[in-house]
Structure 1
């Protein structure tokens, strides 16, 4: 295998690295900022280190006209952060991206780019896993994304439970570190995504959340979050009650009234419908027949229906 040694001692592979990363839906109702689930809709990236000091970036597909084509590209930024963590940096990078995950809809497009970039960086370094463990990668991805739920699902696949914990560095600085574990998902569970044409920035949606909530709402969310682990693993019949939420979705109604109205309509029909991430897409988890699901597009004007399998693998 051809390789190039850097001044830092890292050995960069001269070959092309390729990776695909699934879409992800976070929160899943009550699991605000901790639950994530990977969906079989994948952005694909290919990258190679260059001898020239240049960033050769080409993007096709979703958001191709909106994303940066230089060092500010999120995949490139993530690659550079990964190389920095491992202790070296190539002179230049060539990147090709084929995006299919809709941007700004609550489907983890930025998490895919971040996880893709970090995984590419690790893949382009000989014995890269020695310099960046899976735990390191989740920590770095959380730093870049701001929260660990989407990046965990994008990296590990399936369903994940993520959290942040305080860690004191050797200099005494306290940092918030992202952590995650994989959860079992019953093979019968599938997802229907109802995706509107409009986007919603996660930062805007977060600003609508209150500083405090009633104690009884917190109790309900705590019980539903615990139940969701069991429902996902082996009791799909409990998904409807397990996805009940009083913590975040209703407070975001003014930013996405059609989304919240659709969630309420679907839940009124007994379906496990939730806002996907920060919205405005809606996700319905189901395990039964397809007939009822196939009819949902007609009750969701302005939303495009996408039936997706749960991605059993993450970045690969």
Structure 2
């Protein structure tokens, strides 16, 4: 970022113009996009996990574990159709964790420090990083939906591919904010795998991604309560309803609220005067 592009680097944060904020956002998003393009294995691994569930696990139970008529479905649906929103949320959750891994790596290598000492407000820099990660996750989701289309999994109308976009944006921001918060707690890169497994798998399995809530309620009432409190459940349901052109108001409120809480906590944690970084380095 040159002085010609950013002439007011020495000015206080409140003096920056919208153009300068846009230049910074563009730079952060472009850097994340280049990293994504240069790490093709990241794209492939993001698709392998949900495709394994869809082509192997769900295919095996396609005719056995169908789901009865529950909102937003108007008719009986096959099991692979039901779990598709959960697999979409899985892609975004893994991408959020991968983004947190890159932040830990950047912090150890010094790149994150260079970004955070910018005169721009820290909340804007972290939000720009969050937007960049969510954008990458949305590209991965639509690549998955393209493959699922040839597996005869599609919304009732083509409008569903567009109506699901706001839900993908919001859920991508929530998972990215969660990953960002976790990255402030991870001291070393080697600890990331353990934290990742501790967060991802409980969130995924204790949700409505693989089975409807009423079925969980029949077998394990306490687990059903955990599923209801799990933000991942509401992200799945938000995507599920949006895929059919509908809105789940409860899930919308929960996902939006968790996004604000996670992002706010991450901003505080990355504040060197009072956050987790200051406690560890001090």
TM-score normalised by length of structure 1: 0.21
TM-score normalised by length of structure 2: 0.23
Structure with the bigger percentage of strand: 1
Structure with the bigger percentage of helix: 2
